Structure 1
Amino acid sequence: MTLADTQQQGPAELPPRHGRYAGSPAWQRRRAAVARFWRGYRSHRAGLVGLAALVVIALAAVAAPLLVGDDVRSVTAATGAPLAAPSLDYPLGTDQFGRSLLGLLVWGARVSLTVGLLAAALSVAIGTLVGVVAGHFGGALSTVVMRITDWFLVMPTLVLAIVLATVMSRSLWTVVLAIGVTSWPTTARLVRAQTTAVESRPYIERARALGGGHRHVMARHVLPNVLPLVLAQTTLGISTAILTEATLAFLGLGDPTVVSWGGMLQDAREAGAVSSGDWWYLAPPGIAVALVALSFTLCGRAVESVLNPRLGAGR
């Protein structure tokens, strides 16, 4: 082949990097793992029911501006009678300002789901970091870290969250931070136990013998093995975070400028819905909180059973 022929052909195409394209063995293994996980998840009817309920609620929350409009949150734009019972015009009745409770319930799903997801993600991130570090290094560092974790574990989470929400400015980010920094100890202890088990396996010793440092061992070997546990703990923690957010909002510690299910319950209490028997003001947000928490719990139990077959065998 002459130099002219080489110039006409142009530069040779480089083969794709291994593991970075859709047909690589790494991608095929990932797709196979996802397929196995979905097949196992589909065998849990309760998990499918919870997932279906969450999909419907999430779609309603995302499409809130199209379903109920933006004016439903405005007090000045309310057209209904205050504390009106359910009717054709207002299927769930109205609040003390004449706003549609159905519209407020749909808008409240946005705040409750967002706070629950972000707070659970923050809590699991802190717990995973603490657990991996304590389980990997061990020794005095692990002892000190675990004693701090035990202190947070025995302290009432709700009380700590109330204290943080009280001393900080009232906003959604304050609620997320208050829930996240007070509910991580359980995840930390679980991740530390799993990290300790992974660290005792032979391939960890081989990785260290080949020159793998702490960052390499934790990021490439330990963390991938604890991620299934982290995923299950996240789905279970979201329901707790949503309940805590509703409790803080009910106590008047949430953001008063946004509509949430806990805020609706607090408004109903201030309006005297309990003493006057206006059940339609109390029931919808309370049922919504319970339904979402139950749905996330069902999904979390199903994920936990799929990722840990020993749990599924015992049920």
Structure 2
Amino acid sequence: MTAPTESPVEAGRLSSRQLSWQRRRQAFARGWAEFRRHRSGMVGLGIMVAFVLVALCAPLLASADGLSVTKATGGVLESPSKEFWLGTDESGRSVLTLLIWGSRISLLVGLLATVISMVIGTLIGLLSGYFTGWAGSLLYRFTEWFLVIPFLPLAIILATVLGRSLFNIALVIGITTWPSTALLIRSQTLSIKERPYLERARVLGAGRAHQIGRHILPNVMPMVFANTTLTVAAAILSETTLSFLGLGDPTRVSWGTMLDSAYTVGAITTGSWWFFLPPGLCVVAVVLAFTLIGRALEEVLDPRLRGR
């Protein structure tokens, strides 16, 4: 008996999948090669990877017992020494331990808030750009109305109403930072909607969901990815601001809560620089890293920006 042979239809379908994946790998390779040419982007990527590794390896770098006030072994606001490399806080805990474990909370809240912001902004941007009737106009006006509301008062009100928890802080940041993403995606959707291949899809009977999911969304995703890195930086800065104002999770240590504690105990006036300077520098470094990556990705994904 001869072995069953693959039908021409199945063979052609398999080869089309292979061709699709090959094109994706080639596109990724070209994008990565273009990204590596940006020195600032590579510097930002290196800084980001370093902070991510510190956050993931926090249990190996510092014991979680160092976060407990009852297990503190140092004095009040001790200066840096061989035992405490970055000194201690007002409770005698190692500032280095707080800094390492605080990176987890700051990065987690920043990433979670960015996901919420990107989902809301992309969805509203797609719908407001695709639909030209009253629905699209209503979503657009809603986005504009949300955009002109001052961020900080709205975030403070929402954080006060929802309560002080890790998820609530991420939710507050996410639902107050999506309008800029929505406007960006809306402008891209309006441009893509007028292209010939989308008109051809409508003539062939493609429904609205098919047009949005198979034609418009894949074309706006590069812009979403580039904007995500910039939003992460803004979200981390927002988390630090809210925690500094005392609206963060009181049971978790983050860079923002460290700055709040340093301000409360008067570390600046007493000259205890080791308490407020390290978390402030970490916030600046992470925000700068994501900003550099975002700028580099914008040039890689948008050919019009290359060479400028």
TM-score > 0.5, shorter chain as reference: yes
**Residue matched to 1:141:** 135
For residue 302 of structure 1, what is the amino acid of its counterpart? A
Alignment TM-score, normalising by the size of structure 2? 0.96
Map residues 123-142 of structure 1 onto 2, 5 A cutoff: 123-142=117-136
2:223 is matched with 229
Moved over 3 A (4+): 11-21
Quote the Cα distance in structure 2 between the aligned partners of 1:205 and 1:57: 46
**Partner in structure 1 of residue 200 of structure 2:** 206
The within-5 A match list for 1:273-312 is 273-312=267-306
Matches within 5 A, 1:148-297: 148-297=142-291
In structure 2, the CA distance between the partners of 1:181 and 1:19, relative to structure 1 (3 Å rule), is farther
The two structures, once aligned, show a CA RMSD in angstroms of: 1.6
For structure 1, which segment, 58-67 or 157-166, has the greater mean C-alpha deviation from structure 2 after superposition?
157-166
- 8 Å Cα contact 1:19-1:27 kept in structure 2: no
Q: Using the alignment, how far apart are the partners of 1:150 and 1:101 within structure 2?
A: 43
- Note if 1:80 corresponds to 2:83: no
Q: CA deviation at 1:272?
A: 1.5
Q: Deviations over 1:244-299 (max 9, x none)?
A: 00000011101000010000001111111122111111100110111100000000
Q: Unmatched 5+ residue regions in structure 1?
A: none
Q: How far apart in 1 are the matches of 2:14 and 2:218? A: 16
Amino acid corresponding to residue 131 of structure 1 in structure 2 = G
CA deviations over 1:204-263 (Å, ceiling 9, x no partner): 011011110000000000000000110111000000000000000011101000010000
TM-score for the superposition, normalised by structure 1: 0.94
SS at match of 1:256: coil
CA distance in 2, matches of 1:286, 1:247: 11
Q: 1:113-132 counterparts in 2 under 5 A?
A: 113-132=107-126
Q: Compute the displacement of 1:313 (Å).
A: 2.3
Q: 2:43 & 2:133 partners in 1: Cα distance?
A: 45
Alpha-carbon distance between aligned partners in 1 of 2:89 and 2:213, rounded to the nearest angstrom = 51
Distance 2:201 2:29 in 1: 30
Deviations 1:68-121 (A, max 9, x none): 011111111111111000111111111011111111101000000011011011
The answer for the alignment partner of 1:93 in structure 2 is 87
Q: Is the 8 A contact 1:204 1:217 kept in 2?
A: yes
Change in CA separation of 1:216 and 1:89 when aligned onto 2, cut-off 3 Å: same
Displacement after TM superposition at 1:13 (Å): 6.4
Amino acid at match of 2:86: L
Deviation at 1:309, TM superposition (A): 2.1
